[in-house]
Structure 1
Amino acid sequence: MSHFGKIKWYNSGKGSGTILPEEGGDALPFRKSDLQQEGQEPKSDQRYSYETSEVDGGKKRAVNLRQQGESQTVEEQARAQQG
């Protein structure tokens, strides 16, 4: 299931960052390799869809991040959430 959130921070030198879920909760870590558009570097406050994966004994992290355009319609967002 896809979730939505905004990039809290991203360190291009380390190739890692965190995303803050829209539904609340703690920021989730991600790596550059988790980005679907690896050529683009995420910036703070950009909206992304993502899925979660459990690592290191149950800790969650964001994977399969996809940047969401500002002009995306409600129907497109619903399709993205459904997978």
Structure 2
Amino acid sequence: MANFGKITTFDVAKGAGMIQPEKGGNPLRFERSALKWDRSDDPSADQRLTYDDGKDANGNACAVNVQPT
């Protein structure tokens, strides 16, 4: 089930950022590799997205399948 949120930060050099879920809770980290659109167009702060809940390599919560709304 897709969730909605807004990007709070995105560091182009690191290729990672944070999404604040609309349903509340802690911000989720996401990586450029989680983006499901033309990656030449980097996300920007306050951009609304859909995403799925996932886990990173360390077992921490993160956003995956990130797409613009």
TM-score between the two structures when normalised by the length of structure 1: 0.76
Which is greater in Rg? 1
Q: State the shift of 1:62 in Å.
A: 0.2
1:42 counterpart = 2:43: yes
SS of corresponding position for 1:36 = coil
Structure 1: which 5+ runs fail to align?
69-83
The residue type paired with residue 49 of structure 2 is Y
| Structure with greater strand percent | 2
- State the match for 1:33 in structure 2: 33
Which residue matches 1:19? 19
Which residue of 1 is the match for residue 10 of structure 2?
10
- Please give the secondary structure, in 1, of the residue aligned with 2:7: strand
* TM-score (norm. length: structure 2): 0.91
Higher helix share: 1
Give the C-alpha shift of residue 2 in structure 1: 0.4
CA RMSD of aligned residues (A): 0.9
Amino acid in structure 2 at the alignment position of 1:35: L
Per-residue displacement from partner, 1:8-61 (whole Å, max 9, x unpaired)? Answer: 10000000000000000000000001001122111100000000112323x210
Listed as ranges, the gaps of 5+ residues in structure 2 are none
Q: How many Å separate the matches in 2 of 1:39 and 1:52?
A: 24
Give the length in aligned residue pairs: 67
